[in-house]
Amino acid sequence: MQIAELSVLLVWGAATALTIALVAFAIDLGRRTEARAEAHAEARTPVAVGAASASPSTGDAPPSGGDAVTPVRRRAAGIAMSTTWLGTAMLLVAIVLRGLAAGRTPWANMYEFTLVGSFMALAVFLGMNVRKDFKFLGAFVTGLAVLFLVLGLNVFYVAATGVQPALQNYWLVIHVGVAISATGIFTVAFVASVLQLVRDSRDSGSPYLLRPGFRWLDRVPTPTSLEALSFRLNAVGFVLWTFTIIGGAIWAEHAWGRYWGWDPKEVWSFVIWVVYAAYLHARTTRGWDGRRAAWFVIVGYLCVLFNFTGVNLIFNGKHSYSGLNTDTTGGA
Protein backbone atom coordinates (compact mmCIF):
# COMPACT_ATOMS: atom_id res chain seq x y z
CA MET A 1 0.00 0.00 0.00
CA GLN A 2 3.02 2.23 -0.08
CA ILE A 3 2.42 3.47 -3.60
CA ALA A 4 -1.12 4.45 -2.65
CA GLU A 5 0.14 6.45 0.34
CA LEU A 6 2.73 8.20 -1.79
CA SER A 7 -0.05 9.12 -4.19
CA VAL A 8 -2.07 10.74 -1.39
CA LEU A 9 1.01 12.64 -0.20
CA LEU A 10 1.57 13.93 -3.71
CA VAL A 11 -2.02 15.14 -3.93
CA TRP A 12 -1.50 17.09 -0.72
CA GLY A 13 1.73 18.41 -2.19
CA ALA A 14 -0.08 19.47 -5.36
CA ALA A 15 -2.78 21.20 -3.31
CA THR A 16 -0.07 23.09 -1.41
CA ALA A 17 1.77 24.13 -4.57
CA LEU A 18 -1.51 25.27 -6.14
CA THR A 19 -2.38 27.29 -3.04
CA ILE A 20 0.93 29.12 -3.39
CA ALA A 21 0.13 29.60 -7.08
CA LEU A 22 -3.30 30.94 -6.15
CA VAL A 23 -1.78 33.56 -3.84
CA ALA A 24 0.85 34.49 -6.42
CA PHE A 25 -1.76 34.79 -9.19
CA ALA A 26 -3.87 37.02 -6.94
CA ILE A 27 -0.87 39.23 -6.16
CA ASP A 28 -0.06 39.42 -9.85
CA LEU A 29 -3.61 40.40 -10.71
CA GLY A 30 -3.45 43.14 -8.05
CA ARG A 31 0.01 44.31 -9.10
CA ARG A 32 -0.97 44.57 -12.72
CA THR A 33 -3.60 47.03 -11.67
CA GLU A 34 -1.15 49.24 -9.80
CA ALA A 35 1.46 48.64 -12.44
CA ARG A 36 -0.64 50.51 -14.92
CA ALA A 37 0.07 53.80 -13.19
CA GLU A 38 3.72 53.12 -12.56
CA ALA A 39 4.29 51.43 -15.85
CA HIS A 40 5.43 54.44 -17.77
CA ALA A 41 8.02 55.53 -15.24
CA GLU A 42 9.42 52.09 -14.71
CA ALA A 43 9.41 50.84 -18.24
CA ARG A 44 11.59 53.59 -19.65
CA THR A 45 14.42 51.22 -18.87
CA PRO A 46 13.07 48.08 -20.49
CA VAL A 47 13.70 44.95 -18.46
CA ALA A 48 13.37 42.16 -20.93
CA VAL A 49 11.89 39.62 -18.64
CA GLY A 50 11.72 36.27 -20.27
CA ALA A 51 11.36 37.83 -23.67
CA ALA A 52 13.93 35.41 -25.03
CA SER A 53 12.80 32.49 -22.94
CA ALA A 54 10.26 30.12 -24.34
CA SER A 55 9.43 28.72 -20.95
CA PRO A 56 5.84 29.48 -20.11
CA SER A 57 6.78 29.70 -16.44
CA THR A 58 8.56 32.94 -17.13
CA GLY A 59 6.19 35.81 -16.78
CA ASP A 60 6.34 37.97 -19.82
CA ALA A 61 3.73 40.63 -20.04
CA PRO A 62 1.88 40.74 -23.31
CA PRO A 63 3.25 43.28 -25.67
CA SER A 64 0.38 45.52 -26.50
CA GLY A 65 0.37 47.91 -29.35
CA GLY A 66 0.40 51.67 -29.13
CA ASP A 67 -0.19 53.50 -25.90
CA ALA A 68 -1.12 50.54 -23.70
CA VAL A 69 0.97 49.17 -20.85
CA THR A 70 4.61 48.58 -21.63
CA PRO A 71 6.10 45.31 -20.30
CA VAL A 72 6.70 45.37 -16.58
CA ARG A 73 8.36 42.85 -14.32
CA ARG A 74 5.88 40.28 -13.12
CA ARG A 75 7.76 38.19 -10.65
CA ALA A 76 4.55 37.02 -8.95
CA ALA A 77 3.24 35.74 -12.27
CA GLY A 78 6.46 33.81 -12.77
CA ILE A 79 6.19 32.19 -9.36
CA ALA A 80 2.51 31.47 -9.96
CA MET A 81 3.13 29.74 -13.28
CA SER A 82 6.07 27.72 -11.95
CA THR A 83 4.13 26.50 -8.93
CA THR A 84 1.12 25.70 -11.12
CA TRP A 85 3.33 23.58 -13.38
CA LEU A 86 4.84 21.95 -10.32
CA GLY A 87 1.45 21.26 -8.73
CA THR A 88 0.03 19.90 -11.98
CA ALA A 89 3.06 17.64 -12.45
CA MET A 90 2.73 16.34 -8.88
CA LEU A 91 -0.95 15.69 -9.47
CA LEU A 92 -0.14 13.78 -12.65
CA VAL A 93 2.36 11.59 -10.79
CA ALA A 94 -0.17 11.09 -8.00
CA ILE A 95 -2.79 9.95 -10.54
CA VAL A 96 -0.34 7.55 -12.22
CA LEU A 97 0.68 6.09 -8.84
CA ARG A 98 -2.96 5.74 -7.89
CA GLY A 99 -3.53 3.77 -11.08
CA LEU A 100 -0.53 1.55 -10.31
CA ALA A 101 -1.74 0.96 -6.76
CA ALA A 102 -5.22 0.00 -7.92
CA GLY A 103 -3.99 -1.89 -10.96
CA ARG A 104 -6.42 -0.22 -13.36
CA THR A 105 -7.34 3.08 -15.01
CA PRO A 106 -7.30 5.66 -12.21
CA TRP A 107 -10.74 7.19 -12.79
CA ALA A 108 -13.34 4.82 -11.45
CA ASN A 109 -14.64 6.55 -8.34
CA MET A 110 -15.37 10.07 -7.15
CA TYR A 111 -12.00 10.62 -5.49
CA GLU A 112 -10.14 9.67 -8.63
CA PHE A 113 -12.56 11.64 -10.81
CA THR A 114 -11.85 14.72 -8.66
CA LEU A 115 -8.09 14.28 -9.11
CA VAL A 116 -8.24 13.78 -12.86
CA GLY A 117 -10.87 16.50 -13.34
CA SER A 118 -8.73 19.05 -11.49
CA PHE A 119 -5.72 17.90 -13.47
CA MET A 120 -7.60 18.38 -16.75
CA ALA A 121 -8.70 21.90 -15.79
CA LEU A 122 -5.12 22.80 -14.87
CA ALA A 123 -3.75 21.18 -18.02
CA VAL A 124 -6.19 23.13 -20.19
CA PHE A 125 -5.20 26.33 -18.41
CA LEU A 126 -1.47 25.65 -18.80
CA GLY A 127 -1.93 24.58 -22.41
CA MET A 128 -3.73 27.82 -23.19
CA ASN A 129 -0.88 29.78 -21.60
CA VAL A 130 1.79 28.19 -23.74
CA ARG A 131 0.80 30.28 -26.74
CA LYS A 132 -0.90 33.29 -25.26
CA ASP A 133 -1.22 35.05 -21.94
CA PHE A 134 -4.28 33.86 -20.04
CA LYS A 135 -2.76 34.31 -16.57
CA PHE A 136 -5.75 36.33 -15.39
CA LEU A 137 -7.62 33.01 -15.22
CA GLY A 138 -4.93 31.54 -13.00
CA ALA A 139 -6.16 32.58 -9.58
CA PHE A 140 -9.61 31.16 -10.29
CA VAL A 141 -8.55 27.93 -11.96
CA THR A 142 -5.98 27.09 -9.28
CA GLY A 143 -8.48 28.15 -6.61
CA LEU A 144 -11.12 25.74 -7.94
CA ALA A 145 -8.52 22.99 -8.32
CA VAL A 146 -7.38 23.39 -4.69
CA LEU A 147 -10.99 23.36 -3.54
CA PHE A 148 -11.74 20.18 -5.50
CA LEU A 149 -8.56 18.42 -4.38
CA VAL A 150 -9.08 19.14 -0.70
CA LEU A 151 -12.74 18.15 -0.97
CA GLY A 152 -11.68 14.97 -2.72
CA LEU A 153 -9.13 14.10 -0.07
CA ASN A 154 -11.44 14.81 2.83
CA VAL A 155 -14.84 13.73 1.60
CA PHE A 156 -14.56 11.39 -1.37
CA TYR A 157 -11.41 9.46 -0.47
CA VAL A 158 -11.56 5.67 -0.80
CA ALA A 159 -8.67 3.23 -0.74
CA ALA A 160 -7.20 2.14 -4.07
CA THR A 161 -8.62 -1.18 -5.21
CA GLY A 162 -10.11 -2.99 -8.21
CA VAL A 163 -13.54 -2.41 -9.67
CA GLN A 164 -16.72 -4.40 -10.05
CA PRO A 165 -17.37 -6.39 -13.26
CA ALA A 166 -19.61 -3.73 -14.82
CA LEU A 167 -16.69 -1.29 -14.83
CA GLN A 168 -14.14 -3.69 -16.27
CA ASN A 169 -14.20 -2.47 -19.80
CA TYR A 170 -12.15 -0.34 -22.15
CA TRP A 171 -15.05 2.07 -22.22
CA LEU A 172 -14.08 3.07 -18.70
CA VAL A 173 -10.97 4.61 -20.22
CA ILE A 174 -12.80 6.26 -23.12
CA HIS A 175 -16.19 7.26 -21.71
CA VAL A 176 -15.02 8.46 -18.31
CA GLY A 177 -11.77 9.85 -19.69
CA VAL A 178 -13.61 12.04 -22.20
CA ALA A 179 -16.19 13.04 -19.57
CA ILE A 180 -13.39 14.23 -17.28
CA SER A 181 -11.71 16.15 -20.11
CA ALA A 182 -15.02 17.84 -20.91
CA THR A 183 -15.46 18.71 -17.23
CA GLY A 184 -11.96 20.21 -17.10
CA ILE A 185 -12.68 22.37 -20.15
CA PHE A 186 -16.10 23.41 -18.84
CA THR A 187 -14.39 24.49 -15.61
CA VAL A 188 -12.06 26.92 -17.37
CA ALA A 189 -14.89 28.18 -19.60
CA PHE A 190 -17.01 28.72 -16.49
CA VAL A 191 -14.29 30.90 -14.96
CA ALA A 192 -14.13 32.95 -18.18
CA SER A 193 -17.91 33.42 -18.22
CA VAL A 194 -18.04 34.46 -14.55
CA LEU A 195 -15.30 37.01 -15.21
CA GLN A 196 -17.21 38.17 -18.27
CA LEU A 197 -20.35 38.80 -16.20
CA VAL A 198 -18.49 40.53 -13.36
CA ARG A 199 -16.43 42.67 -15.69
CA ASP A 200 -19.52 43.54 -17.67
CA SER A 201 -21.34 44.60 -14.52
CA ARG A 202 -18.41 46.77 -13.50
CA ASP A 203 -18.29 48.34 -16.94
CA SER A 204 -21.98 49.13 -16.82
CA GLY A 205 -21.53 50.82 -13.46
CA SER A 206 -22.63 48.37 -10.79
CA PRO A 207 -22.05 50.35 -7.58
CA TYR A 208 -20.74 47.32 -5.70
CA LEU A 209 -18.21 46.38 -8.34
CA LEU A 210 -17.04 49.96 -8.80
CA ARG A 211 -15.38 49.90 -5.38
CA PRO A 212 -11.57 50.05 -5.41
CA GLY A 213 -11.33 46.40 -4.36
CA PHE A 214 -12.49 45.41 -7.81
CA ARG A 215 -10.02 47.53 -9.74
CA TRP A 216 -8.26 44.32 -10.81
CA LEU A 217 -11.20 43.68 -13.09
CA ASP A 218 -9.89 46.35 -15.42
CA ARG A 219 -6.91 44.13 -16.12
CA VAL A 220 -9.14 41.31 -17.21
CA PRO A 221 -9.98 41.25 -20.95
CA THR A 222 -13.15 42.92 -22.18
CA PRO A 223 -16.45 41.03 -21.83
CA THR A 224 -16.42 40.49 -25.60
CA SER A 225 -13.05 38.74 -25.59
CA LEU A 226 -14.01 36.72 -22.52
CA GLU A 227 -17.20 35.68 -24.25
CA ALA A 228 -15.23 34.57 -27.30
CA LEU A 229 -12.80 32.64 -25.09
CA SER A 230 -15.60 30.98 -23.17
CA PHE A 231 -17.34 30.04 -26.41
CA ARG A 232 -14.27 28.43 -27.91
CA LEU A 233 -13.74 26.34 -24.79
CA ASN A 234 -17.41 25.46 -24.46
CA ALA A 235 -17.59 24.41 -28.11
CA VAL A 236 -14.80 21.89 -27.50
CA GLY A 237 -16.40 20.85 -24.21
CA PHE A 238 -19.79 20.39 -25.84
CA VAL A 239 -18.41 18.14 -28.57
CA LEU A 240 -16.58 16.08 -25.94
CA TRP A 241 -19.74 15.90 -23.85
CA THR A 242 -21.72 14.69 -26.86
CA PHE A 243 -19.12 12.00 -27.30
CA THR A 244 -19.34 11.16 -23.59
CA ILE A 245 -23.07 10.56 -23.93
CA ILE A 246 -22.72 8.48 -27.10
CA GLY A 247 -19.86 6.45 -25.61
CA GLY A 248 -21.86 5.98 -22.43
CA ALA A 249 -24.84 4.77 -24.44
CA ILE A 250 -22.69 2.24 -26.30
CA TRP A 251 -21.25 1.00 -23.02
CA ALA A 252 -24.68 0.85 -21.37
CA GLU A 253 -25.86 -1.24 -24.30
CA HIS A 254 -23.02 -3.68 -23.55
CA ALA A 255 -23.25 -3.72 -19.80
CA TRP A 256 -26.87 -3.06 -18.92
CA GLY A 257 -28.68 -4.21 -22.01
CA ARG A 258 -30.08 -0.83 -23.03
CA TYR A 259 -28.46 2.24 -24.50
CA TRP A 260 -30.62 4.70 -22.66
CA GLY A 261 -32.66 4.10 -19.53
CA TRP A 262 -33.16 7.50 -17.87
CA ASP A 263 -30.92 6.57 -14.99
CA PRO A 264 -30.33 9.72 -12.84
CA LYS A 265 -26.83 10.12 -14.27
CA GLU A 266 -28.19 9.80 -17.78
CA VAL A 267 -30.93 12.32 -17.02
CA TRP A 268 -28.43 14.86 -15.75
CA SER A 269 -25.99 14.26 -18.59
CA PHE A 270 -28.92 14.93 -20.90
CA VAL A 271 -29.83 18.08 -18.96
CA ILE A 272 -26.23 19.32 -19.23
CA TRP A 273 -26.21 18.60 -22.94
CA VAL A 274 -29.47 20.48 -23.46
CA VAL A 275 -28.29 23.46 -21.37
CA TYR A 276 -25.08 23.80 -23.36
CA ALA A 277 -27.04 23.30 -26.60
CA ALA A 278 -29.31 26.12 -25.44
CA TYR A 279 -26.17 28.18 -24.79
CA LEU A 280 -24.97 27.66 -28.35
CA HIS A 281 -28.39 28.68 -29.65
CA ALA A 282 -28.58 31.66 -27.31
CA ARG A 283 -25.29 33.01 -28.66
CA THR A 284 -26.82 33.20 -32.09
CA THR A 285 -30.14 34.68 -31.01
CA ARG A 286 -30.52 38.42 -30.93
CA GLY A 287 -31.18 39.64 -27.42
CA TRP A 288 -29.84 36.46 -25.85
CA ASP A 289 -26.16 36.79 -26.65
CA GLY A 290 -23.62 38.36 -24.34
CA ARG A 291 -24.72 38.41 -20.70
CA ARG A 292 -27.67 36.07 -21.05
CA ALA A 293 -25.60 33.47 -22.92
CA ALA A 294 -23.01 33.62 -20.14
CA TRP A 295 -25.69 32.69 -17.63
CA PHE A 296 -26.28 29.50 -19.58
CA VAL A 297 -22.63 28.62 -19.09
CA ILE A 298 -23.01 29.16 -15.35
CA VAL A 299 -26.19 27.08 -15.13
CA GLY A 300 -24.57 24.42 -17.32
CA TYR A 301 -21.51 24.22 -15.12
CA LEU A 302 -23.62 24.01 -11.96
CA CYS A 303 -25.42 21.09 -13.61
CA VAL A 304 -22.02 19.49 -14.33
CA LEU A 305 -21.08 19.85 -10.67
CA PHE A 306 -24.43 18.50 -9.51
CA ASN A 307 -24.19 15.61 -11.94
CA PHE A 308 -20.88 14.71 -10.34
CA THR A 309 -21.71 15.24 -6.67
CA GLY A 310 -25.46 15.24 -6.14
CA VAL A 311 -26.36 12.50 -8.56
CA ASN A 312 -23.65 10.20 -7.19
CA LEU A 313 -24.47 10.78 -3.56
CA ILE A 314 -28.19 11.54 -3.38
CA PHE A 315 -29.84 9.44 -6.07
CA ASN A 316 -29.54 5.70 -6.19
CA GLY A 317 -28.87 4.84 -9.80
CA LYS A 318 -26.74 2.54 -11.84
CA HIS A 319 -23.93 5.09 -11.83
CA SER A 320 -23.43 4.92 -8.05
CA TYR A 321 -19.72 4.36 -8.30
CA SER A 322 -18.58 6.79 -5.62
CA GLY A 323 -17.29 3.81 -3.65
CA LEU A 324 -18.51 5.61 -0.54
CA ASN A 325 -21.52 3.42 0.18
CA THR A 326 -21.63 -0.32 -0.24
CA ASP A 327 -24.41 -0.89 -2.67
CA THR A 328 -26.36 -4.08 -3.14
CA THR A 329 -24.98 -6.78 -5.36
CA GLY A 330 -27.54 -7.70 -7.94
CA GLY A 331 -24.64 -9.21 -9.79
CA ALA A 332 -24.12 -6.57 -12.40
Partner 1 sequence: MSEKATYRPEGINDAFVEGRAGDAPAAPQGGPGKPAGPNLPTLGWRGMLRWTWRQLTSMRVALMLLMLLAVAAVPGSVLPQRGQDAAAVLEYLGDHPTLGEWLDRFGFFEVYSSVWFSAIYILLFVSLVGCIVPRTIAHARALRNRPPRTPVRFGRFPATARARTSASPDEVVEAVADHLRGPVRRLPTFRVDVGSEEPRLGRPATRTVAAERGYLRETGNLVFHLALLGLLVSVALGQLLHYRGQAIVTEGRGFANAVVDYDTFDKGAWFRPSSLSPFSMTLDSFDSEFASDTVAFAQARDFTAHVTVTEPDGGQHSDQIKVNSPLTVDGAKIYLQGNGFAPEITVKDGAGEMAFSGRVPFLPEDTMYTSRGVVKVPDVSDGQEQIGLVGYFLPTAVVEEDGSARSVFPQPQNPLMVLEVYRGDLGLDDGVPQNVYRLDTASLTPSVDEDGETIKLLVKPGETVELPDGLGTVTLGEEVPRYVALDLRYDPSLGWVLTFSLLALAGLAVSLFTPRRRVWVRSWEATDDDGRSFTHVELAGLARGDDAGLQREVDKALAAVPGVADETDDKTDDDTVAADHQRTATED
Residue numbers 183-242 binding partner 1 by CB under 8 A:
221-222, 224-225, 228-229, 231-232, 235, 238-239, 242
Interface with partner 1 (CB under 8 A), residue from 283, 308, 319, 321: 283
Q: Residue ranges of the alpha helices (H) in 164-290? A: 170-171, 177-203, 223-255, 264-283
| Amino acid residing at 228 | A
Interface with partner 1 (CB under 8 A), residue from 46, 103, 165, 213: 165
Q: How far is CA 260 from the centre of its chain?
A: 28
Binding mask 255-274 toward partner 1 (x if CB under 8 A, else -) reads xxxxxxxxxx--xx-xx--x
Binding flag, residue 254, partner 1 (CB under 8 A): yes
**Min dist. Cβ of residue 16 to partner 1 (A):** 27
* Alpha carbons 212 and 195: distance in angstroms, whole number: 17
* Alpha carbons 105 and 173: distance in angstroms, whole number: 7
Interface with partner 1 (CB under 8 A), residue from 9, 130, 159, 173: 159
Segment contacting partner 1 by CB under 8 A, of 39-47, 104-112, 207-215, 253-261: 253-261
Decide whether 211 or 292 has the Cβ nearer to partner 1. 292
Of 123, 35, 128, the residue nearest 75 (C-alpha): 35
324 CB-contact burial (10 Å; exposed 0-12 / middle 13-18 / buried 19+): middle
Of 291, 302, 26, the residue nearest 146 (C-alpha): 26
Binding mask 51-90 toward partner 1 (x if CB under 8 A, else -) reads -----------xxxxx------------------------
Binding footprint of partner 1, residue count (CB under 8 A): 72
**Min dist. Cβ of residue 86 to partner 1 (A):** 26
* Alpha carbons 252 and 98: distance in angstroms, whole number: 26
